[in-house]
Amino acid sequence: MTVGKGSLLMASRLRIFLVLGSLWGSQSFDLDPCSSKPGAQSACVGQVGGSAVACWTRSVGVSWACWSAASVPAWAFNALRANAACQSMTDGLGQRSFGGACTFLPPGPRLAAAALPPTLRSWAESYQLAAVTLQQMTLEEKQQILHGIGWDGPTFALLPGYYVGNTLPVPRLGLPSLNMQDAADGFRLYWHDMLDTGTCWPSLLAMAATWDQDAVRDFAVALGEEFAGKGANAILGPSVNVHRVARNGRNFEYISGEDPHLGAKLTTAYVEGVQSQGVFAVVKHFAFNEQETNRNTQSSNVDQKTAWNLYYPPFQAAVDAGVAAFMCSYNKVNGVYACSNGDLLNRDLKQRMGFQGFVQSDWWAAHEISLGQGLDQEMPGTQNLWSVENLSAQNPQLVDDAARRVLAVMYKFDLPDTTKCAPMNCSAYLRANVTSAAHRSLSGSLAAESVVMLKNSDSVLPLSAANVKTIAIIGSAAAAPVYDPDGQGQGQGDWWRGDYYSGGGSGHVVASGVVTPLDGIRRQAQELGIKVVVPLDSSVAEALNVAYLADVVIVVTGTTAGESRDRESLHLDDGADDLIAAVVKQGKPTVVLMQVPGAIVMPWRDSVAAILVLFFGGEETGNAWASVLFGDRAPTGRLPLMMPESEADTIPPSSSLSVPYTEGLKTSYRNPLFKAAFPFGHGLTYTSFEYGAAEGGNCSVGAPEASEALQCIHLNVSNTGSRPGRTVVQAYVELPPEAGYETPVLRSFQKTGIIMPGSSQHILLSFSARELSFYDPGITGWQLPATVTAHIGESSQDIRQKVLLKVPGGGIIHPAEVPGFLLPAALIVLAIALIAGLVCGLQKRSSQGQGACSAFDSTGSEVEMLPLQH
């Protein structure tokens, strides 16, 4: 049976893996339940040999075959679930049947990143076309593409038929409107009649927890499809700020978590995925928008070393990926509003980072016409700062430069030929239903992949009917409703509220048709014959009553966050800490599930059996929890932040209007004084891994990105447990003291494929010149050391081994790296050189000894360090 291109795309996103151990040892195959194959229903004809079966294929879309329960190991058969029935077929290997779909394993390798559409032009060609059009434009037409429309200024209300961000079209020149919509967890369903028409995806922080560039790219491609389907040509995302303040109300929106390298890799995947669908991305919030407290008035005071090493890398990655636009933030930077800050927008962004798109203001973040400082477009246009009259008073070259940048983006994405509607006439597109069964399935898969298992004492998980007869599900988050702002007053009042599925504010997406944790867990438990008991009310006494009846107690907890305000604390809602403490005293194994927007303190962590965290999983939250709890999927998520022992181990939001970043690079795991309850990068699964000896090696083999790497590390990772699983191999680079880091810092990682028990996978960790360097403001550039030490392990604290790397072209050698017997000699040579230099200086003044001193000059010049080029 063959599968068409569209069916192949859907099927591949639903793939799971199975090893037919008795036939091929550790070889794995793509496995997919028949029910998920469009057009394959005719092949599903009932029972084969008295048991339901499922299909597998070696090559998706080529031929399907069915396999019996006898063909799989006992551990896999225990996880079998009959999803569909399928007629036995053969692919030349012989007929078999398989008693159900083994859904224990996470998805297999994903599709490669979607190719850029042929209409996506280069920047050079786009600017050539922009220059031609610019010559034909009047000042009024230039103003139309530089100035937002669609909002009522006095009421902060969006007008019907408009996107969150809009510009007017210029029909005379064939220029489209820009139709821009918010996106943290999906297309913002602003109006009530838009509900049920878009997917509520996992948050960007949840995507960060996957540590998986392919997963992020798949998500972004699907997101781009939904935006295009609703007539939008721009997505107001991704949000990429590196976390500084643990209580920041918008941390759930930020894909970087607490690390710039993790953020840079995932930002690249997001931008490439979204823009492959002809929808341009707007990376935000630039820059240093690390807290919501006083966000409109406070100044983030940051030095260049801290900026470039810690906070800029995800933004630089977006530039390198070809992102179309930047959004400047509300706050001040070193005393000047970000949207009026020439050092920020012109010097750092456009000149040093090489950004070629346009800069727009966050909504109402512009305080003046700042064309000369690098702002190109004012949003949402209600302040009338960028009126034709005001623009006429500006330097015409500055107006033209801003218009040229916006035009270049239009031509790069071929928007004149693809725009579907112009506000205010977009209501039909805004109400278009762009979600689908495939997207909902992908959303659930991604949510499950983002679940981080922090603890699993005595292997209480996964749950099965063999060891659990009754479970109790308690906690206020178990059946929590979604929050719907209903399109009213979204710029004021309680517009900032979120729920346990999607954070609040402009990034909130109403999770229509949400699967609550109670629904998802109870449904799957009942299918397995496990009884579920729930309390009759929310009292602790009633919770204890049902806990007494259960073999295992699941406590579902959470807290939410939203835009414009920071969290009051790092504790869970509704007295969850006290509830957990009371339940634990019953003596029953207690599993705590947390749905949270970021870091959490867990005073009860030592007393419970298992802890899992989901950083807002979207509409499929309940199914994601169930798939991990019952072993359909092994947990594969890793912490994109440090879970602190206490709030004292974090940086709090400041109420001051001047916020100095005096800690410099010492945030999260980079601060040796901060104690972690669970470290950055931590995450458990249902098996264990052993690392083989790591060696620096040839970068010409392995992953495609290795071909551009400066240095690589090779090692094998073996599954030493009894279940299949995946892990994330992490490399933390120890840089010389000049870099200013007090701990090794993440500079490479790779998520493995599924490794079967007793099997291993070769891992290649690649490092670019930038990833082995540190920014030195003394040379206004990047320093490349001669040697670095790579710490390789499972988290920032679980280091398995170290590898010393000699860096080609590196120029800094710390004295500790010089053999001891050479150090005295080196000092003597240095002293001689200094004396010779002094003598030569005196001789030059008397115009003598030029020959010897010329030789000294030529050798001395070889130690000059130049900035690395982008």
**Sign of the alpha-carbon torsion through 135, 137, 138, 140:** negative
Instruction: Report how far residue 291's alpha carbon sits from residue 452's, in angstroms, rounded to the nearest whole number.
Output: 25
pLDDT at 120: 84
Residue 391 parent element (H or E):
helix 388-392
Closest by CA position to 678, among listed 249, 241, 264, 209: 209
Give me the percent of the chain exceeding a pLDDT of 70. 78
Residue type, 405: R
Q: Within 10 A of 768 (CB to CB), how many other CB atoms are there? A: 16
**Across 188-216, average pLDDT:** 96
pLDDT of residue 73 exceeding 60 = no
Q: Please name the residue that has the structure tokens 């636009």.
A: 325
Which strands form 65-66's sheet, in the order they lie side by side? Answer: 16-19, 28-32, 55-57, 65-66
Helix (H, G, I), strand (E, B) or coil at 36: helix
Each domain of the chain, given as residue ranges in start order, spans 5-102, 123-194+234-244+262-430, 438-646, 689-817, 823-863
pLDDT at 140: 98
Using the 8-state DSSP alphabet, how is residue 601 labeled? -
The superfamily CATH assigns to domain 438-646 is Glycoside hydrolase family 3 C-terminal domain (3.40.50.1700)
pLDDT at 153: 82
What would the CATH number be for the domain defined by 123-194+234-244+262-430? 3.20.20.300
pLDDT at 275: 96
pLDDT at 707: 64
pLDDT at 862: 24
Instruction: Report how far residue 738's alpha carbon sits from residue 497's, in angstroms, rounded to the nearest whole number.
Output: 44
Contact 629, 662 (CB under 8 A): no
pLDDT grade for 704, boundaries at 50, 70 and 90: low
pLDDT digits (tens, 9 = 90+) for 427-481: 999 999 999 999 999 999 999 999 999 999 999 999 999 999 999 999 999 999 9
pLDDT of residue 278 exceeding 70 = yes
pLDDT of residue 19 exceeding 90 = no
Q: Within 10 A of 870 (CB to CB), how many other CB atoms are there? A: 11
Least confident of 104-113, 263-272, 276-285, 326-335: 104-113
Phi, psi for 340 (deg, rounded to 5): -125, 15
pLDDT grade for 626, boundaries at 50, 70 and 90: very high
Residue type, 783: Q
pLDDT grade for 156, boundaries at 50, 70 and 90: confident
Contact 813, 786 (CB under 8 A): yes
Using the 8-state DSSP alphabet, how is residue 755 labeled? B
Residue type, 86: C
pTM equals 0.84
What would the CATH number be for the domain defined by 689-817? 2.60.40.10
pLDDT of residue 29 exceeding 80 = no
**Across 847-870, average pLDDT:** 31
Chain centroid, CA 280 distance in Å: 18
pLDDT of residue 502 exceeding 80 = yes
Closest by CA position to 265, among listed 348, 336, 321: 321
pLDDT of residue 686 exceeding 60 = yes
**Pairing of β 299-301 and β 325-328:** unpaired
**Sign of the alpha-carbon torsion through 342, 344, 348, 350:** negative
Which residues are CB-contacts of 286 (< 8 A; sequence separation ≥ 6)?
Answer: 315, 326, 327, 328, 329, 338, 344, 345, 349, 359
pLDDT digits (tens, 9 = 90+) for 303-360: 999 999 999 999 999 999 999 999 999 999 999 999 999 999 999 999 999 999 999 9
Using the 8-state DSSP alphabet, how is residue 19 labeled? E
Contact 100, 82 (CB under 8 A): yes
pLDDT digits (tens, 9 = 90+) for 344-365: 999 999 999 999 999 999 999 9
Q: Please name the residue that has the structure tokens 């007539």.
A: 231
pLDDT grade for 206, boundaries at 50, 70 and 90: very high
Buried residues in 334-361 as b, exposed as e (16+ CB within 10 A): bebbbbbbeebbbebbbebbebbbbbbb
Instruction: Report how far residue 738's alpha carbon sits from residue 775's, in angstroms, rounded to the nearest whole number.
Output: 10
pLDDT of residue 191 exceeding 70 = yes
Instruction: Report how far residue 515's alpha carbon sits from residue 862's, in angstroms, rounded to the nearest whole number.
Output: 65
Q: Within 10 A of 778 (CB to CB), how many other CB atoms are there? A: 11
pLDDT digits (tens, 9 = 90+) for 714-748: 999 999 999 999 999 999 999 999 999 999 999 99
Contact 160, 402 (CB under 8 A): no
Closest by CA position to 683, among listed 722, 640, 645: 640
Contact 475, 604 (CB under 8 A): no
First to last CA, the chain: 49
Average pLDDT over all residues of the chain? 83
Helix (H, G, I), strand (E, B) or coil at 461: coil
Which residues are CB-contacts of 340 (< 8 A; sequence separation ≥ 6)?
Answer: 366, 367, 368, 370, 373, 375
